[in-house]
Amino acid sequence: MTTTATLATRTDAEHMADPDWWRQASVYQIYPRSFADSNGDGIGDINGITAKVPYLKALGVDAVWLSPFYPSALADGGYDVDEYRNVDPRLGTLEDFDAMASALHTAGIKLIVDIVPNHSSNRHEWFQEALAAPKGSPARDRYIFRDGLGDQGELPPSDWHSVFGGPAWERITEPDGTPGQWYMHIFAKEQPDLNWDNPEVREDFLKTLRFWSDRGVDGFRIDVAHALTKNLEETLPTTADLEAEGEALYLEGRHPYWDRNEVHEIYAEWRKLFNEYNPPRTAVAEAWVHADRRARYASPEGLGQAFNFDLLQADFDAAQFRKTITKNLAEAEASGASSTWVFSNHDVVRHATRYGLPASASSAEGDIMSGQAGKQWLLAGGRQEDVDVELGLRRARAASLLMFALPGSAYLYQGEELGLQEVGSEIPDSERQDPSFFRNKGVEIGRDGCRVPLPWTAGGSSFGFGPAGSHLPQPAWFADSSVEVQEAQEDSTLSLYRRALALRSQLQADETLEWLETGRPDVLVFRRPNGWTSVTNFGTEPFELPAGDVLVSSSPLEGAFLPGATTAWLQ
Ligand code: GLC
Ligand code: CA
């Protein structure tokens, strides 16, 4: 691998002041509890992140996105928020947060935080108040309470299922000790859904967005952005009714809780608040919606950007990649947003593992919360010997390098720069934390395997994650993937990411690409307006490279040939 180009011409100050900084940003997702532990309690924390700012700077990312760090009982890894305007005491204090934000900003790195507006935790003071208050009270109206069906109200108001398995309704005990109403929870029962028709709920989130914006937060990732508004006024349809109406409900925004049209009124209001800041605060929607409806979330009058999980759900396949890229660039252009690209996050099996699974297991089509391939492998035991680790990593490197050449924002998940594999069977059931494991026995193993604390060093009690242990067990093979080992290797995945991200910052000027035909269905070549081309060989047969200087390649070249499962950039 050779690098002949010079480094970024843009200064940190320009990046920090640019209102469009997000359009082509490389955003690094940190799962705070598993990134770096500063005080040896086995849990990653805010000061741990601050201590790693030089690492993030050297990696070359433009922004960091923090998954929830708020007070939480961790019924869903922090996506069950007790208090929206505070830091979990196990992770630090607001002062620690300010110090982290300022260290990131000094290094020219923007800060995005996760906002979880669809549900609070059941420990939130509002929910506690609702439980203590009578039926029909203003306190209950902040959530979605309904009477049950059946003579005694003993049946849930509908047969809907929670995303994590089991019913989407939980019955409460009334303050007088009698069995009472039911509340809705699309996710775990510790995550009661908020009622977005209630003006107090709306007000409170504006307050939260302002609170973090005033503290210097540059942008927000909006959790389950497509679920906030609901229509539960009439008799609730059954799951069978909903299935019968199928696509129409989704396409017309009429589903009782997913992707309703009115949700955009909320985001229009948020946008006004974001635009009061200079530069305006940014937002990206996590909205698992029909592709045709994604642009509404990404509009400049709305959140501004939306995740596209299409590449994450595609196989390592030239035709699927090309179709996905073309479609999403066109969509982004139409919405006025820039595209987003993601291969891994805290909810899915890491792409270095997905790409190493037997071909028969690899079609992810149709499964929305996580690549089906990865889930099947986990269910089958999640054994590393069933993964072609070498091929998976090779393909993951090729895919990531291709992504870095694309216009739009690249969202990376901590550990992918180390080429980390998913941790499968090495996590014993007794140590699992994800509610989807407990609520969905035998159907899901859950997402703990991509949330195992990072290996920073080759040795030590937690591979340098902290001075003591780690809240999820790290397998022995983490040693070879550690930052310490990879920093010393010219051809490591970490070195590849650093080189590619440094080069990528020179591609930022425009948001277009041009496909070049190769005559090979398994090879994709595109050119960016600065003249650079990205070539990916998805097959196994070496491909003769066009003329040009090689800027970087994801695996070593074979003379003038690009081997299989490899990407190279040419100048
Ligand atoms: C989002 C998060 C996921 C969480 C869920 C409920 O999908 O990414 O981790 O479990 O929302 O908040
Ligand atoms: Ca800690």
- Per-residue confidence in pLDDT tens, the chain, 571 aa: 333 333 446 789 998 999 999 999 999 999 999 999 999 999 999 999 999 999 999 999 999 999 999 999 999 999 999 999 999 999 999 999 999 999 999 999 999 999 999 999 999 999 999 999 999 999 999 999 999 999 999 999 999 999 998 999 999 999 999 999 999 999 999 999 999 999 999 999 999 999 999 999 999 999 999 999 999 987 899 999 999 999 999 999 999 999 999 999 999 999 999 999 999 999 999 999 988 899 999 999 999 999 999 999 999 999 999 999 999 999 998 889 999 999 999 999 999 999 999 864 444 443 434 467 888 899 889 999 999 999 999 999 999 999 999 999 999 999 999 999 999 999 999 999 998 898 888 788 999 999 999 999 999 999 999 999 999 999 999 999 999 999 999 999 999 999 999 999 888 778 999 999 999 999 999 999 999 999 999 999 999 999 999 999 999 999 999 999 999 999 9
Any atom of ligand 1 within 6 Å of the Cβ of 347? yes
Distance 72 CA to ligand 1 centre (A): 14
Distance 69 CA to ligand 2 centre (A): 12
Any atom of ligand 1 within 6 Å of the Cβ of 28? no
Question: Which ligand is the nearest neighbour of the Cα of 91?
Answer: 2
Any atom of ligand 1 within 6 Å of the Cβ of 80? no
Task: For residue 346, give the ligand 1 atom closest to its CA.
Answer: 9
Residue 546 is classified by DSSP as P
Cβ–Cβ under 8 Å, residues 457 and 464? yes
Distance 5 CA to ligand 1 centre (A): 40
Whether a cis peptide bond, with omega within 30° of 0, leads into 300 is no
User: Across the strands, what pairs with 284?
Assistant: 221, 305
Q: What is the pLDDT of residue 369?
A: 40
Any atom of ligand 1 within 6 Å of the Cβ of 187? yes
Distance 223 CA to ligand 1 centre (A): 6
- Note whether 144 and 108 are same-domain residues: no
Task: For residue 447, give the ligand 1 atom closest to its CA.
Answer: 9
Q: What is the 3-state secondary structure (H, E, C) of 464-533?
A: CCCCCCCCCCCCCCHHHHCHHHHHCCCCCHHHHHHHHHHHHHHHCCCCCCEEECCCCCCEEEEECCCCCE
Task: For residue 187, give the ligand 1 atom closest to its CA.
Answer: 6
Distance 349 CA to ligand 1 centre (A): 14
- The residue nearest atom 7 of ligand 1, judged by CA position, is 224
Its sign, for the CA torsion 87, 92, 93, 96, is: negative
- The residue nearest atom 12 of ligand 1, judged by CA position, is 79
Any atom of ligand 1 within 6 Å of the Cβ of 224? yes
- Note whether 131 and 113 are same-domain residues: no
- Note whether 85 and 112 are same-domain residues: yes
Which of 222, 223, 259, 284 is the best mutation target for the ligand 1 pocket, counting ligand atoms within 8 Å of the beta carbon and taking the most? 223
The set of residues, in sequence order, having a beta carbon less than 8 Å from that of 93 and lying 6+ positions away, is 46, 87
Distance 447 CA to ligand 2 centre (A): 21
Q: What is the pLDDT of residue 371?
A: 61
Overall number of domains in the chain: 2
- Note whether 237 and 382 are same-domain residues: yes
Any atom of ligand 1 within 6 Å of the Cβ of 116? yes
- Note whether 257 and 296 are same-domain residues: yes
Q: Which phi and psi (to 5°) does residue 288 adopt?
A: -85, 80
Among candidates 536, 496, 499, which has minimal Cα distance to 520? 536
Residue 454 is classified by DSSP as P
Q: What is the pLDDT of residue 510?
A: 83
Q: What spatial distance separates the first Cα and last Cα of the chain, rounded to whole Å?
A: 13
Residues 176 and 343: their CA atoms lie apart, in Å, by: 50
Q: What is the pLDDT of residue 243?
A: 94
Which of 224, 309, 342, 411 is the best mutation target for the ligand 1 pocket, counting ligand atoms within 8 Å of the beta carbon and taking the most? 224
Is 350 part of a structural domain of the chain?
A: yes
Is 266 part of a structural domain of the chain?
A: yes
Any atom of ligand 1 within 6 Å of the Cβ of 79? yes
Instruction: Pick the catalytic residue from 203, 243, 262, 276.
Output: 276
3-state SS, residue 343: coil
Task: For residue 118, give the ligand 1 atom closest to its CA.
Answer: 12
Q: Which phi and psi (to 5°) does residue 27 adopt?
A: -110, 125
**Domain final position from 485, 502, 519:** 502
Distance 91 CA to ligand 2 centre (A): 6
- Note whether 254 and 274 are same-domain residues: yes
Other C-beta atoms closer than 10 Å to the C-beta of 150 total 9
The secondary structure element, H or E, covering residue 284 is strand 282-285
- Note whether 164 and 228 are same-domain residues: no
Is 448 part of a structural domain of the chain?
A: yes
Is 531 part of a structural domain of the chain?
A: no
Task: For residue 345, give the ligand 1 atom closest to its CA.
Answer: 8
The set of residues, in sequence order, having a beta carbon less than 8 Å from that of 342 and lying 6+ positions away, is 307, 308, 309, 311, 312, 411, 413
**Domain final position from 502, 534, 564:** 502
**Domain final position from 136, 160, 184:** 184
Is 519 part of a structural domain of the chain?
A: no
Which range of residues forms the domain containing residue 286?
A: 20-119+199-502
Task: For residue 188, give the ligand 1 atom closest to its CA.
Answer: 6
Is 549 part of a structural domain of the chain?
A: no
- Note whether 25 and 161 are same-domain residues: no
Which of 81, 114, 185, 187 is the best mutation target for the ligand 1 pocket, counting ligand atoms within 8 Å of the beta carbon and taking the most? 187
Distance 343 CA to ligand 1 centre (A): 16
- Note whether 105 and 132 are same-domain residues: no
Q: What is the pLDDT of residue 267?
A: 98
Q: What is the pLDDT of residue 367?
A: 42
Distance 40 CA to ligand 2 centre (A): 6
Give the CATH number of the domain where residue 235 resides.
Answer: 3.20.20.80
- Note whether 411 and 463 are same-domain residues: yes
User: Across the strands, what pairs with 536?
Assistant: 524, 567
Give the CATH number of the domain where residue 148 resides.
Answer: 3.90.400.10
- Note whether 143 and 248 are same-domain residues: no
Any atom of ligand 1 within 6 Å of the Cβ of 127? no
- The residue nearest atom 9 of ligand 1, judged by CA position, is 347
The secondary structure element, H or E, covering residue 172 is strand 169-173
276 counts as catalytic: yes
Is 516 part of a structural domain of the chain?
A: no
Question: Which ligand is the nearest neighbour of the Cα of 40?
Answer: 2
Residue with tokens 């961790």: 74
- Note whether 233 and 167 are same-domain residues: no
Is 412 part of a structural domain of the chain?
A: yes
- Ion ligand 2, residue ranges at CB < 5 A: 37, 39, 41, 43, 45
Any atom of ligand 1 within 6 Å of the Cβ of 223? yes
Strands ordered across the beta sheet of 340-342: 304-306, 282-285, 219-222, 110-115, 63-66, 26-30, 409-413, 340-342
Instruction: Pick the catalytic residue from 88, 96, 193, 223.
Output: 223
Any atom of ligand 1 within 6 Å of the Cβ of 184? no
214 counts as catalytic: no
Q: What is the pLDDT of residue 370?
A: 44
